[in-house]
């Protein structure tokens, strides 16, 4: 989510107050440790006006890595509601892993068109309401490779849109909403030394997810996704993280489920969904380094493109920026992340504040 400077100041103040509190530890038994960190949120933006809520993270033992559930809840003066629970779960035997997100949203979205032909200042808004579930369940093949299945569902309802806009006229596929429900196989390779702030290793995922009437969807399409991230140690305390993402879609995906660039992880600086289309290519890198005490810095850059067909001219969108990290849990290396990213064009820049790393 793109955050205004005014909103950023309110969030930063409250999060910095909360970050001085130690993570709460409960020990029900000798082999179970639960850690909790949470803070209140107060926010303001032109889209939401004042918003109030809370955010935090709960972690507990798994094998080989720690399980975690992040939570966030926000209610705004415009009656927008955001409830979201990203999670990573590891069973005690070390054989199974599950990750994804559960949530419910009522939000004023920005729509910038599909493809690359729209002017940089083209913008429409619409409000959508939907529950969301993203679930991937994997089983170990060996110490580093896992295979399993993925299930995604959004029950998307567009409740209002700008008069005369493309969404109001029903031009983009899925403009009337619908149920997007997909299923397919996933392969994962994970050799990271830490899942929250890796210093070395690989995290690579390949997935093939299809939607059809027999998967419970109102749409028919097939998507191949490839995501490879490498963490390179630069001395004892610095890390270079590099990531490549490719997505290819066949069939008729709704506009809200097309591949997208922008937001907190894919080309920071561009608003959420600034560019969207059937196919996506993205490369980005981030250098992480210590500053003082629990504060760390980051410098990042990248470029990405979306396109509708292989023969289309690719328009690469560059971005770059600076970041600040605060390590609120030193043992697990959990961080609050504040980034400022700048993209191409005068309107493509913004602050981001969240838990965890972008890549």
Q: How far apart are CA 226 and CA 207, in angstroms?
A: 7
For 78-109, what is each residue's pLDDT tens digit? 788 989 999 999 998 889 999 999 999 998 88
For 318-334, what is each residue's pLDDT tens digit? 999 999 999 988 888 88
pLDDT at residue 50 is higher than 70: yes
Q: Give the rounded percent of residues in the chain with a pLDDT score beyond 70.
A: 89
pLDDT at residue number 27: 35
Which segments within the chain are labelled E, that is strand? 24-29, 32-45, 49-60, 67-76, 81-90, 96-111, 124-140, 145-161, 178-190, 201-211, 220-234, 238-252, 259-261, 275-277, 279-292, 295-307, 317-329, 334-343, 349-355
Question: Confidence band (pLDDT; 50, 70, 90) for 56?
Answer: confident
pLDDT at residue 165 is higher than 70: yes
Radius of gyration of the chain (CA): 20
> pTM of whole model > 0.95?
no
* Cα dist from 44 to 41, 52, 75, 269, 272, whole Å: 10, 9, 11, 19, 18
Pick the more confident residue, 343 or 19: 343
Pick the more confident residue, 10 or 315: 315
pLDDT at residue number 138: 98
Q: Give the rounded percent of residues in the chain with a pLDDT score beyond 90.
A: 65
* Backbone torsions φ then ψ of 13, nearest 5 degrees: -60, -50
Q: How far apart are CA 1 and CA 74, in angstroms?
A: 12
Is residue 49 within 8 A of residue 76, CB to CB? The reply is yes
User: Taking CA 202 as the corner, what is the angle to CA 224 and CA 354, rounded to the nearest 5 degrees?
Assistant: 80
Residues 160-184 have a mean pLDDT of 96
Question: Confidence band (pLDDT; 50, 70, 90) for 47?
Answer: low
For 104-160, what is each residue's pLDDT tens digit? 999 888 999 999 999 999 999 999 999 999 999 999 999 899 999 999 999 999 999
Contacts 24+ apart (CB under 8 A), 137-142: 137/96, 137/97, 137/98, 138/96, 138/97, 138/98, 138/186, 138/188, 139/95, 139/96, 139/97, 140/94, 140/95, 140/96, 140/97
3-state DSSP call for residue 8? helix
pLDDT at residue number 49: 65
Q: How far apart are CA 96 and CA 355, in angstroms?
A: 24
pLDDT at residue number 10: 41
3-state DSSP call for residue 143? coil
Is residue 325 within 8 A of residue 253, CB to CB? The reply is no
**9-18, 35-44, 105-114, 160-169: lowest mean pLDDT where?**
9-18
Is residue 357 within 8 A of residue 323, CB to CB? The reply is no
pLDDT at residue number 334: 87
- Nearest by Cα to 116 from 309, 306, 348, 343: 306
3-state DSSP call for residue 7? helix
Q: How far apart are CA 204 and CA 231, in angstroms?
A: 11
pLDDT at residue number 3: 42
- Nearest by Cα to 188 from 134, 225, 133, 241: 225
Q: Which pair of tokens denotes residue 125?
A: 């808004």
For 337-354, what is each residue's pLDDT tens digit? 999 999 998 889 888 888
Question: Confidence band (pLDDT; 50, 70, 90) for 16?
Answer: very low
- Nearest by Cα to 62 from 181, 246, 196, 165: 196
Longest dimension (CA), the chain: 62
Q: Which residues of 312-332 are buried (b: 16+ CB within 10 A; e: fewer)?
A: eeeeebebbbebbbbbbbeeb
Mean pLDDT over the full length of the chain: 87
Handedness of CA 241, 57, 157, 128 (dihedral sign): negative
pLDDT at residue 12 is higher than 70: no
Most confident of 8-17, 186-195, 345-354: 186-195
Residues 187-202 have a mean pLDDT of 95
pLDDT at residue 272 is higher than 80: yes
For 20-43, what is each residue's pLDDT tens digit? 333 333 333 334 578 888 878 766
């Amino acid at each position: 989510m793109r955050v205004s400077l005014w909103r950023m100041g309110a969030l930063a103040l409250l999060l910095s107050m909360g970050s001085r509190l130690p993570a709460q530890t409960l020990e029900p038994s000798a082999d179970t440790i639960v850690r909790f960190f949470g803070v209140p949120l107060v926010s303001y933006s032109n889209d939401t006006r004042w918003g109030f809520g809370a955010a935090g993270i709960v972690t507990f033992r798994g094998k080989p890595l720690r399980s975690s559930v992040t939570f966030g809840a926000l209610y705004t003066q415009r009656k927008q509601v955001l409830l979201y629970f990203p999670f990573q779960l590891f069973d005690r035997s070390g054989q199974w892993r599950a990750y994804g997100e559960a949530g419910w949203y009522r939000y004023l979205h920005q729509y910038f068109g599909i493809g690359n032909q729209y002017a940089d200042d083209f913008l429409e808004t619409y409000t959508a309401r939907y529950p969301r579930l993203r679930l991937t369940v994997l089983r170990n093949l060996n110490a580093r490779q896992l295979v399993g299945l993925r299930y995604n569902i959004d029950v998307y309802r567009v409740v209002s849109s700008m008069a005369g806009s493309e969404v109001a006229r029903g031009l983009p596929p899925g403009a009337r909403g619908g149920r997007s429900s997909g299923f397919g196989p996933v392969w994962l390779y994970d050799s990271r030394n830490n899942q929250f702030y890796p210093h070395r290793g690989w995290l690579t995922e390949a997935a093939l997810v299809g939607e059809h009437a027999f998967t419970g969807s109102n749409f028919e399409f097939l998507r191949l996704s490839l995501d490879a991230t490498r963490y390179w140690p630069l001395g004892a305390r610095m890390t270079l993280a590099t990531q490549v993402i490719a997505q290819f879609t066949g069939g008729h995906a709704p506009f809200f489920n097309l591949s997208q660039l922008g937001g907190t992880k894919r080309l920071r600086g561009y608003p959420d969904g600034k560019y969207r289309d059937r196919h996506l290519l993205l490369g980005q890198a981030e250098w992480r380094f210590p500053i003082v005490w629990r504060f760390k810095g980051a410098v990042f850059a990248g470029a990405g493109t979306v396109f509708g067909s292989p023969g289309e001219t690719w328009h690469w969108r560059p971005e770059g920026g600076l970041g600040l990290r605060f390590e609120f849990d030193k043992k697990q290396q959990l961080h609050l992340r504040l980034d400022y990213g700048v993209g191409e064009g005068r309107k493509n820049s913004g602050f981001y504040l969240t838990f965890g790393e972008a890549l």
